[in-house]
């Protein structure tokens, strides 16, 4: 080992950082499974970009056949050798107790007198860590770029004393806990929104007017008579002489156009490519008429129609030979019930807009914290 340079950001600590090989800090853990045909087994997988472990559907020993599998060892640094170059690495926990991993997921235990396993994980999640994993994964891209386990063990890393490692590891564990809570919050809001859509559009719950009275009964109509899809300039456009209006494609706003606009707000739906993807556009825009449909609201509340489209899941109407497209005729003949009172439509759209605002806030917090973590990973490791 040799003394190496120090990171730009440190906890208050003494002592130089030193260089080690992975094989000096980690020991391979290998406990083969004697597969029984009539037993059930749950395998683990590892997501790329440090997104953690997931559990696959249970399979029988018969289904596993001659596949080489190993019992998962708790608190082990585990690598997906096929996508190690994409930082598909994680640490096992008691949640994986009794589960198995294939030979493509080698597990390593840390020498606890020298290294903290969570410190090593975060080190490998830095940009330099990714480079080291790529260098240990010779071959082409994708499944041909497999981690060489001998090369992995030869990787040289620079680490501080064990107490400093533990401080750094605890710090990042706290950040990861916060990220997990934010993801769960966002997922819970998304589940709530899906459930609320089913409840409201099935009319199991109804809004009331400002005096607490019930609105009129909903009417069942074909989409063609509620909010038909139009191709680009089938809708009225207005020539303009100044200003810049975004060109909106099925996957979002890509560029600007100076000649035409459609009065916002509007709803656009992917016609090809991202078939059935629905986007609400607040401002005036220029629709790209080859990749999307634009909605004619027929006097209905625009945001309500957006949520109605989401509820109907227009992607299921995609098809055709060659390049699949969203068939507007198939959409138009579909019948659905809607409130005829614009105030009720407005209340429904406001309700879902409030949920979307909370989802967007949780997503923004996630992104901000993720970026902050990335910055710290670059400053606290070498």
Encode pLDDT of 159-184 as tens digits. Answer: 999 999 999 999 999 999 999 999 99
User: What does R_g of the chain's alpha carbons equal in angstroms?
Assistant: 27
Q: What is the pLDDT of residue 262?
A: 67
Give the structural domain span for 37: 18-159
CATH code of residue 356:
1.10.287.1120
Residue 138 shares a structural domain with residue 183 = no
Residue 23 shares a structural domain with residue 153 = yes
User: Two tokens at 36?
Assistant: 């029984």
The full DSSP string for 164-182 is HHHHHHHHHHHHHHHHHHH
In a domain, 239, yes or no: yes
Question: 53-55 and 229-231: which strand pairing?
Answer: unpaired
| 272-328 pLDDT tens trace | 777 888 889 887 776 655 677 888 899 999 999 999 999 999 988 887 666 788 888
In a domain, 211, yes or no: no
Q: What is the pLDDT of residue 10?
A: 86
Output the average pLDDT for the chain.
Answer: 88
* 259 pLDDT higher than 70: no
Residue 329 shares a structural domain with residue 356 = no
Residue 40 shares a structural domain with residue 183 = no
For residue 301, the surrounding DSSP H or E stretch is none
Residue 185 shares a structural domain with residue 232 = no
SS3 state at 229: strand
Residue 176 shares a structural domain with residue 148 = no
Residue 119 shares a structural domain with residue 149 = yes
Q: Give the predicted TM-score (pTM) of the model.
A: 0.81
Residue 304 and residue 345: Cα distance in Å, rounded?
6
Residue 170 shares a structural domain with residue 151 = no
* 37 pLDDT higher than 90: yes
User: Two tokens at 168?
Assistant: 């750094």
CATH code of residue 126:
3.90.220.20
In a domain, 224, yes or no: yes
In a domain, 8, yes or no: no
Residue 260 and residue 256: Cα distance in Å, rounded?
10
Q: What is the pLDDT of residue 252?
A: 57
Residue 76 shares a structural domain with residue 176 = no
The pLDDT of 1-23, averaged and rounded, is 81
The pLDDT of 353-380, averaged and rounded, is 95
In a domain, 257, yes or no: yes
Number of domains in the chain: 3
User: Which residues sit opposite 238 in a β-bridge?
Assistant: 261
Are 264 and 284 spatial neighbours (Cβ–Cβ below 8 Å)?
yes
In a domain, 258, yes or no: yes
The pLDDT of 100-117, averaged and rounded, is 97
User: Two tokens at 147?
Assistant: 């981690």
Are 158 and 382 spatial neighbours (Cβ–Cβ below 8 Å)?
yes
Neighbours of 82 (CB within 10 A): 19
């Amino acid at each position: 080992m040799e003394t190496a340079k120090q990171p730009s950001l440190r906890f208050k600590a003494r002592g130089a950082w030193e260089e080690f090989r992975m094989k000096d800090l980690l020991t391979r853990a290998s406990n083969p499974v004697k597969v029984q045909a009539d037993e059930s087994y749950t395998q683990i997988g590892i997501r790329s970009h440090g997104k953690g472990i997931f559990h696959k559907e249970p399979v029988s020993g018969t289904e596993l056949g001659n596949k080489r599998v190993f019992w998962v060892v708790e608190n082990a640094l585990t690598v997906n050798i096929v996508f190690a170059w994409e930082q598909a690495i994680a640490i096992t926990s008691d949640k994986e107790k009794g589960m198995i991993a294939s030979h493509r997921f080698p597990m390593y235990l840390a020498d606890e007198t020298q290294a903290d396993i969570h410190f090593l994980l975060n080190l490998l999640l830095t940009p330099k860590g990714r480079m080291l994993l790529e260098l240990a994964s010779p071959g082409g891209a994708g499944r041909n770029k497999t981690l060489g386990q001998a090369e992995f063990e030869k990787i040289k890393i620079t680490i501080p004393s064990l107490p400093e490692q533990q401080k750094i590891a605890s710090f990042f564990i706290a950040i990861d806990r916060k990220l997990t809570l934010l993801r769960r919050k966002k997922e819970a809001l998304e589940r709530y929104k899906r459930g609320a859509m089913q409840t409201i559009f099935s009319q199991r719950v109804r809004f009331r007017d400002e005096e607490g009275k019930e609105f009129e009964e909903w009417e069942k109509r074909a989409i063609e008579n509620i909010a038909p899809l139009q191709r680009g300039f089938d809708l009225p456009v207005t020539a303009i002489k100044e200003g810049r209006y975004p060109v909106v494609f099925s996957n979002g706003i890509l560029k600007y156009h100076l000649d035409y606009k459609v009065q916002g707000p509007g709803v656009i739906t992917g016609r090809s490519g991202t078939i059935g993807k629905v986007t609400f556009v607040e401002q005036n825009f220029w629709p790209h008429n080859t990749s999307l449909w634009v909605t004619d609201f027929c006097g209905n509340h625009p945001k309500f129609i957006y949520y109605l489209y989401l509820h109907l899941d227009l992607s299921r109407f995609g098809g055709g030979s060659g390049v699949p497209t969203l068939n507007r005729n198939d959409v138009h003949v579909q019948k659905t019930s809607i409130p005829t009172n614009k105030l009720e439509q407005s209340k429904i759209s406001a309700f879902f807009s409030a949920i979307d605002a909370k989802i967007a806030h949780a997503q923004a917090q996630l992104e901000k914290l993720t970026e902050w973590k990335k910055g710290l990973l670059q400053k606290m490791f070498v």
